[in-house]
Amino acid sequence: MQTFDLEEQGLRALNQTLHDQANDTNQTSWEIINPRGSHAIAVGLDAPIEVKIKGSTGYYCGGMNKQADILVEGSAGPGVAENMMSGTVVIEGDASQYAGATGRGGLLVIKGNASSRCGISMKGINIVVHGNIGHMSAFMAQSGNLVVLGNAGDALGDSLYEAQLFVRGTVKSLGADCVKKEMRAEHITLLQDLLNKAGANANPEEFTRYGSARKLYHFDIDNAGTY
Amino acid sequence: MCGIIGLFLKDQSLQAQLGTLLTEMLVTMSDRGPDSAGIAIYGGDGEVSNSMTKFTLQSNAPHEDFAELAADMAAATSIDDSKVWLAVKDTHAVLTVPAGITADVRASLGEIRPTVRIMSVGEAIEIYKEVGLPRSVAERFSVSQMRGTHGIGHTRMATESAVTTMGAHPFSTGADQCLVHNGSLSNHNSLRRKLIRDGVHFETDNDTEVAAAYLTHQMQQGASLGEALESGLDDLDGFYTFVVGTRDGFGVVRDPIACKPAVMAETDQYVAFGSEYRALVNLPGIDAARIWEPEPATVYFWTH
């Protein structure tokens, strides 16, 4: 275990050190102490390493992550795991707005609640939120899966493309072109797998699937009022 | 971008540390607003009493303007000069006068010191704000040595109006009221024209001053602060996270989109606000605090 004191050694040194880890590094386990809400912690990693952050983080923690497994032992500020490519990011507390935005792959797990715009424009990432999500979540989400064990806020899945949304609790309102869909056997299998990976103890049968009605894909003058 | 911080003390034993805690929080938010900074502090150094009114004044020539101000004001308002005090802090000064003569003091000030500006008026409030980095602004006014019951601070990155002392936050448009803002209002010009027709006076072209004046105007029409904030959700268009202060209270409201950040923390000792969690990390007992993000379009308010 390598320990890095962010307050003593600074952010640039931290991210450079983590970037310097190659695929075959022997130093596969890292612990970051004194994060104190700092921005851009463990951003742009590209190695199969484990990074444990001992406290809460600020903007963009774990952004653009590839391969690494990042654990935040606290809450995360805006844009956690933004544009993640692969690997995992796990938040033990809550996440602020646009968690997992534009993510292309990997798994983001939020054990508390996520606020507004969770999974906005997601492009292949899987996001599992143990608590609730805020308004405008999965806005223009293109692919990947968003799983919510709690409730969703207003305008879920507005202008949705092909991402799949699974919500166990209530949805305050659906956004334009987002509709309730049938849960088929393949969705139960997919959801069970994601719940297992996210350490979430929930019955996939209790979830409702939401997806795109596919009416806003192409401009249609009859839909002008909906855009 | 701007930074907001606020601290509302429940535990009186922290009152002596209020200025120190607010200063640390304010300096942490320098990256969000390096062009100007300000602080509204309630309570201040003296006893808060409803028999006295405090005016926080600002001057670009404090040596000349403040030198004989207490005596000149006593003469101009025909009050015994033992009942008028002036405490100078850099470009600002707190003028304490007996209660009930606010209009008289305002009018007299316009005559005897026409270039001196009034930052706040009230029993408890004092406002200090200037152009410059938050650390230097806090040092100029010795904010860390101030005590009080609650305080609100702001670091400004200007978008809607010029970088000037008067354009810095907090804005105070009514007795013991203040408001700070992160965001930008898009209908401030039309709303300002409407308020001017209703007799409201404005000092700047700033959008936030319009929001502050709007709330004050609503309250003058009989609304509570909570009701004024609720109606602001309908009448103010744009992006905002507001933190407001009153003599005994502290409130927060975000617009329905809520893209301007906000984090709150509450313990048995205090309620704290920060644009980012970073601003809160040095508060006592923060590790055990309840920490949450205020909901959009929801009014939060605490009173003593």
| Nearby residues of A59 by Cβ (< 8 Å), 6 or more positions away | A39, A40, A77, A78, A79, B276
CA distance A84 to chain B (A): 21
**Chains A, B: CB contacts under 8 A, how many?**
43
- What is the reported pLDDT for A224? 78
Contacts of B260 in chain A (CB under 8 A): none
Separation between Cα atoms, residue A92 and residue A114, nearest integer Å: 11
CA distance A202 to chain B (A): 25
Nearest by CB: A56 against B259, B261, B277: B277
Residue of chain B minimizing CA distance to A38:
B278
- What is the reported pLDDT for A227? 67
CA distance B281 to chain A (A): 6
- What is the reported pLDDT for A190? 98
Say whether pLDDT at A194 is over 70: yes
CA distance B303 to chain A (A): 27
For the segment B89-118, the average pLDDT, to the nearest whole number, is 96
Beta-sheet strand order (sheet of B249-254): B178-185, B238-245, B249-254, B300-303
- Chain-wide mean pLDDT for chain A? 96
pLDDT digit string, tens, across residues B182-224:
999 999 999 999 999 999 999 999 999 999 999 999 999 999 8
Contacts of B291 in chain A (CB under 8 A): 56, 75, 93-94
Q: What is the DSSP string of B95-163?
A: EEEETT-HHHHHHHHHHH-TT-EEEEEESSEEEEEEES-HHHHHHHTTGGG--EEEEEEEEE--SSS--
All structural domains of chain A with their residue ranges: 1-85, 105-217
All structural domains of chain B with their residue ranges: 3-48+130-303, 50-123
Question: Three-state DSSP class for A64?
Answer: coil
Q: Assess whether B259 carries a catalytic annotation.
A: no
Contacts of B29 in chain A (CB under 8 A): none
**Across the interface, do B276 and A59 touch by the CB < 8 Å criterion?**
yes
The burial of A219, by beta-carbon neighbours within 10 Å (0-12 exposed, 13-18 middle, 19 or more buried), is given as exposed
Instruction: Inform me whether the C-beta atom of residue A56 falls under 8 Å from chain B C-beta atoms.
Output: yes
**% of chain A beyond a pLDDT of 90:** 93
Q: Which residues of B touch A (CB under 8 A)?
A: 257-259, 261, 263, 276-281, 291-293, 295-296
**Residues linked to residue A110 through DSSP beta bridges, in sequence order:** A91, A129
- Domain boundaries B50-123, CATH class: alpha beta
**Residues linked to residue B79 through DSSP beta bridges, in sequence order:** none
- What is the reported pLDDT for B211? 97
- The fold of the B3-48+130-303 domain, in CATH, is Glutamine Phosphoribosylpyrophosphate, subunit 1, domain 1 (3.60.20)
pTM (predicted TM-score)? 0.94
Confidence of residue B276 (pLDDT cuts 50, 70, 90): very high
Cα dihedral A56/A62/A68/A72 (nearest 10): 10
For the segment B252-273, the average pLDDT, to the nearest whole number, is 97
Tell me which of A97, A120, A154 to substitute to probe the interface with B (most B C-beta atoms closer than 10 Å): A97
Contacts of A75 in chain B (CB under 8 A): 277, 291
- What is the reported pLDDT for B265? 98
Residue of chain A minimizing CA distance to B277:
A37
**Across the interface, do A97 and B281 touch by the CB < 8 Å criterion?**
no
Separation between Cα atoms, residue B88 and residue B145, nearest integer Å: 14
Contacts of A77 in chain B (CB under 8 A): 261, 276-277
Beta-sheet strand order (sheet of A123-129): A2-5, A29-33, A50-53, A69-72, A88-91, A107-110, A123-129, A143-148, A164-167, A208-212, A178-181
Separation between Cα atoms, residue B271 and residue A12, nearest integer Å: 33
**% of chain A beyond a pLDDT of 70:** 99
**Across the interface, do B292 and A94 touch by the CB < 8 Å criterion?**
yes
- Chain-wide mean pLDDT for chain B? 95
Confidence of residue B159 (pLDDT cuts 50, 70, 90): confident
- The structure tokens listed for A111 are 């054990």
Instruction: Inform me whether the C-beta atom of residue A132 falls under 8 Å from chain B C-beta atoms.
Output: no
Confidence of residue B45 (pLDDT cuts 50, 70, 90): low
Residue of chain A minimizing CA distance to B292:
A94
Say whether pLDDT at A31 is over 90: yes
- What is the reported pLDDT for B225? 87
CB atoms within 10 A of CB A218: 7
- What is the reported pLDDT for A23? 87
Instruction: Inform me whether the C-beta atom of residue A169 falls under 8 Å from chain B C-beta atoms.
Output: no
**Across the interface, do B261 and A97 touch by the CB < 8 Å criterion?**
yes
Lowest mean pLDDT among A148-152, A177-181, A223-227: A223-227
CA distance A36 to chain B (A): 6
Cα angle A108-A109-A114, degrees, rounded to a multiple of 5: 100
CA distance B241 to chain A (A): 14
Nearest by CB: B278 against A38, A93, A97: A38
Separation between Cα atoms, residue B160 and residue A201, nearest integer Å: 49
Which one is catalytic: B1, B2, B149, B228? B2
Instruction: Inform me whether the C-beta atom of residue A79 falls under 8 Å from chain B C-beta atoms.
Output: no
Confidence of residue B146 (pLDDT cuts 50, 70, 90): very high
Say whether pLDDT at B30 is over 70: yes
Question: Three-state DSSP class for A77?
Answer: coil
Selected residues 33-52 of chain A with any CB under 8 Å from a CB in chain B: 36-38
CB atoms within 10 A of CB B201: 8
Contacts of B293 in chain A (CB under 8 A): 94, 96-97, 115
- What is the reported pLDDT for A179? 98
- What is the reported pLDDT for B46? 64
